[in-house]
């Protein structure tokens, strides 16, 4: 790191010395200060470019060169215009400045097309388009995505952005033991997915330096790849949908796979704790679904038979309400069902 600082200081000194010798502003002192300021601005610009990917830099350079060539071509085509007119000279200046600028901006934004894999795909025969599934930090730490990949339900190429890996590493290096364990679990999940046969995993170097939030970077990456974000973050889900990006929500999939329970069915549950309302008991199914049982406060710590009275669907999942079997009426009116085991996705 020290040689970087020395190189920058040496560059600024060289530019300042050159300005001092050539005297672009006339006096020695003003030229020296001018050269120092120019060198410092160039160094600041270089530091801002450190986080920009090579493909975007090449795209900006290529776009700027094409824009400059078009501007020179248009200028040569207007040879018949009166070059002594101020309006014609201004038009030449605007064209010469505008086209290279537009070329640099557009080329920098579309620089991912200079990726070798993208370039090769342009010359291949038309075939099925690759489908990208971009993983976010929360779904990697959650871990259920590995089970889904193993079953083969998640198709396409799994894209793991470098900024997500960086965020995982920060969590894994946290001083808090809980966060550190979650980060290390996420890295273990990624290693497990990479070792699976038949699962295509791609590490993406594409970054968006102008965007600070990781969630917004995921949305921009999904737009550029025309892929879908795989997450279990409720807020990211809503923001992505508002911006026109498709999302695969693991929690929604887990809720969809939970067993269908109808009023009147009998269940066998373990009353775990007291409910919010008076005399209620709370139990949980194997898949994490909450079961609220009336008049079961006295039966905390026991396994009881209940009859389902109603099912409530919320954004967080399903809630089942029931009452004790002996308070439900004649037993012959109840249709018994077998207890349902947990889905592979977990809670």
281-284 and 317-324 strand pairing: unpaired
CA distance 78 to 103: 21
Same domain, 159 and 268: no
Same domain, 236 and 280: no
Q: Per residue in 287-318, pLDDT tens? A: 778 899 998 888 899 999 999 999 887 766 67
CATH of the domain at 321: 2.40.50.140
Residue 239 lies in a domain: yes
Same domain, 138 and 228: yes
List the chain pLDDT tens, one digit each, 347 residues.
567 788 888 888 888 888 888 887 878 788 888 889 988 888 888 777 776 777 777 888 888 889 888 888 887 777 676 666 677 677 777 878 888 888 888 887 777 667 666 666 556 554 456 789 999 999 999 888 888 888 888 888 899 999 999 999 999 998 888 889 999 999 999 999 988 888 888 888 888 888 888 889 999 999 888 899 999 888 888 999 888 889 998 888 887 777 778 888 888 999 999 888 888 999 998 777 889 999 888 889 999 999 999 988 776 667 889 999 875 444 444 444 444 443 333 33
**Nearest partner of 226 among 201, 246, 250, judged by Cα:** 246
Burial class (CB in 10 A: 0-12, 13-18, 19+), 129: exposed
User: For the chain, what is the domain count?
Assistant: 3
Residue 341 lies in a domain: no
Q: Which among 255, 286, 319 is the end of a domain?
A: 255
Residue 96 lies in a domain: yes
CA distance 99 to 70: 7
Same domain, 139 and 217: yes
CA distance 81 to 73: 14
Same domain, 242 and 287: no
Q: Per residue in 244-258, pLDDT tens? A: 889 998 888 887 777
Residue 33, both tokens: 């200060």
Q: Which among 231, 255, 279 is the end of a domain?
A: 255
Residue 340, both tokens: 């349902």
Same domain, 245 and 265: no
CATH of the domain at 175: 3.40.50.1010
Residue 121 lies in a domain: no
What's the confidence (pLDDT) of residue 342? 37
Same domain, 174 and 102: no
Same domain, 104 and 24: yes
Residue 201 lies in a domain: yes
Domain hosting 300: range is 258-336
Residue 283 lies in a domain: yes
Residue 44 lies in a domain: yes
Same domain, 204 and 218: yes
Q: Which among 217, 234, 255 is the end of a domain?
A: 255
How crowded is the C-beta side of 251, counted as CA atoms within 13 Å?
A: 17
Same domain, 36 and 133: no
Residue 108, both tokens: 């920098």
Same domain, 90 and 173: no
Residue 344 lies in a domain: no
Same domain, 51 and 154: no
């Amino acid at each position: 790191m020290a040689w970087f600082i020395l190189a920058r200081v040496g560059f600024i000194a060289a530019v300042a010395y050159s300005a001092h010798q050539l005297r672009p502003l006339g006096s020695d002192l003003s030229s020296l200060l001018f050269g120092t300021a120019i060198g410092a601005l160039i160094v600041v610009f270089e530091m801002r470019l450190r986080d920009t990917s090579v493909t975007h830099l090449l795209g900006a350079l290529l776009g700027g060169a094409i824009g400059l060539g078009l501007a020179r071509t248009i200028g040569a085509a207007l040879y018949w215009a009166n070059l002594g007119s101020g309006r014609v000279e201004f038009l030449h200046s605007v064209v010469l400045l505008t086209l290279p600028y537009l070329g640099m901006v557009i080329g920098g934004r579309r620089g991912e097309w200079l990726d070798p894999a993208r370039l090769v795909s342009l010359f291949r025969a038309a075939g099925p388009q690759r489908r990208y599934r971009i993983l976010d930090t929360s779904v990697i730490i959650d871990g259920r995505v590995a089970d889904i990949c193993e079953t083969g339900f998640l198709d396409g190429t799994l894209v793991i952005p470098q900024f997500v890996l960086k965020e995982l590493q920060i969590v894994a290096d946290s001083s808090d033991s809980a966060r550190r364990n979650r980060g290390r679990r996420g890295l273990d999940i990624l290693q497990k997915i990479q070792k699976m046969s038949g699962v295509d995993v791609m590490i993406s170097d594409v970054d968006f330096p102008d965007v600070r939030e990781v969630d917004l970077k995921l949305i921009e990456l999904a737009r550029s790849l025309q892929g879908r974000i795989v997450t279990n973050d409720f807020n990211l889900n809503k923001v992505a949908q508002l911006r026109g990006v498709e999302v695969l929500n693991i929690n929604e999939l887990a809720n969809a796979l939970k067993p269908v329970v109808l009023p009147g069915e009998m269940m066998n549950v373990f009353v775990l704790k007291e409910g919010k309302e008076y005399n209620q008991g709370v139990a949980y199914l194997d898949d994490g679904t909450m079961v609220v049982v009336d008049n079961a406060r006295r039966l905390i710590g026991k396994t009881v038979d209940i009859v389902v009275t109603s099912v409530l669907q919320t954004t967080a999942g399903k809630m089942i309400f029931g009452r004790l079997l002996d308070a439900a009426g004649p037993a012959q009116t109840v249709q018994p069902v077998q207890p349902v085991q947990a889905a592979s996705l977990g809670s």
